[in-house]
């Protein structure tokens, strides 16, 4: 989320401030287009790697703005045509163009209000303001990792989100999908490097990322 918040920060402070005070934006593992893991957390429930039962975390996820903001961003045109939700009993599927329909399948007004606002007025509004590019020219160094199965969607046994579910996977850093990580190249990064096989948090403690950051900070 740090990278998304920094994008918002750039919009807030403007170019004059950035020119004066920001030399480089070093973006590491930023989920620029959200994460399929948010689908798992909000609908059947997912423990997000925490030591807690998934069904206990689901009510929290459904009330948390952070999870709503991490739903896949940009529709099929930007995010891609991945199936985010499949209902096995009916064959019904939902993609990134159909998030609002998917949200409305949960009979919970507070959840719907929270998540619809996140989809309609979260990063989407800001990205569209700048045509899915940086708010203005700034040196941006982008670093990601991949090579780990990362949740891209969910298959439910039937239309009840309490029914059995199966997670669907794609390449990524275990938390964020590769297409979301790689969008850094499209948004306007000065440099882009995939540093290899590290998890979303593991990259932060890697020698590879230290060496890359050092080259920008100390030169």
Q: Tens digit of pLDDT for each residue in 20-48?
A: 999 999 999 999 999 999 999 999 988 76
54-72 mean pLDDT:
86
Predicted local confidence at residue 135, as pLDDT: 96
pLDDT band at 95 (very low <50, low <70, confident <90, very high): very high
* pLDDT score of 200: 95
Instruction: Using the predicted structure, report yes or no on whether residue 201 has a pLDDT greater than 70.
Output: yes
In this prediction the pTM is 0.92
What is the percent of the chain with per-residue pLDDT over 70, rounded to a whole number? 98
Q: Calculate the CA dihedral of residues 101, 104, 106, 108 and round it to 10 degrees.
A: 160
pLDDT band at 185; cut points 50, 70, 90? very high
Residue pair 82/36 in contact by the 8 Å Cβ criterion: yes
Structure tokens at 178: 């590769």
Decide which of 86 and 110 is more confident.
Answer: 86
pLDDT reported for residue 39: 94
Q: Give the chain's mean pLDDT.
A: 93
CB 71 within 8 Å of CB 119: yes
Mean pLDDT, range 128-137, rounded to an integer: 96
Domain containing 131: what range?
Answer: 2-217
pLDDT digit string, tens, across residues 144-175: 999 999 999 999 999 999 899 999 999 999 99
Predicted local distance difference test score (pLDDT) of residue 48: 66
CB atoms within 10 A of CB 40: 25
What does the pLDDT read at residue 218?
80
Residue 138, pLDDT > 80, answer yes
């Amino acid at each position: 989320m740090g990278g998304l918040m920094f994008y918002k920060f750039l919009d807030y402070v403007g170019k004059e401030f950035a020119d004066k005070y920001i030399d480089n934006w070093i973006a590491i593992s930023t989920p620029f287009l959200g994460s399929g893991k948010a689908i798992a957390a909000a609908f059947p429930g997912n423990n997000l790697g925490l030591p807690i039962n998934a069904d206990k975390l689901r009510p929290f996820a459904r009330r948390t703005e952070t999870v709503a903001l991490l739903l896949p961003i940009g529709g099929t045109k930007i995010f891609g045509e991945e199936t985010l939700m499949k209902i096995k009993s009916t064959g019904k599927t939902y993609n990134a163009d159909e998030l609002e329909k998917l949200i409305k399948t949960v009979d919970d007004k507070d959840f719907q209000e929270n998540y619809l606002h996140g989809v309609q007025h979260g990063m989407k509004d800001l990205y569209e303001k700048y045509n899915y590019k940086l708010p203005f020219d700034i040196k941006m160094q982008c670093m990601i990792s991949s090579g780990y199965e990362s949740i891209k969607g969910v298959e439910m046994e039937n239309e009840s989100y309490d029914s059995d579910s199966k997670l669907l996977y794609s390449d990524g850093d275990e938390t964020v999908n590769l297409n979301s990580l790689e969008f850094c190249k499209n948004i306007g990064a000065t440099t882009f490097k995939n540093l290899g096989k590290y998890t979303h948090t593991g990259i932060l403690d890697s020698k590879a990322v230290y060496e890359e950051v050092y080259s920008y900070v100390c030169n």
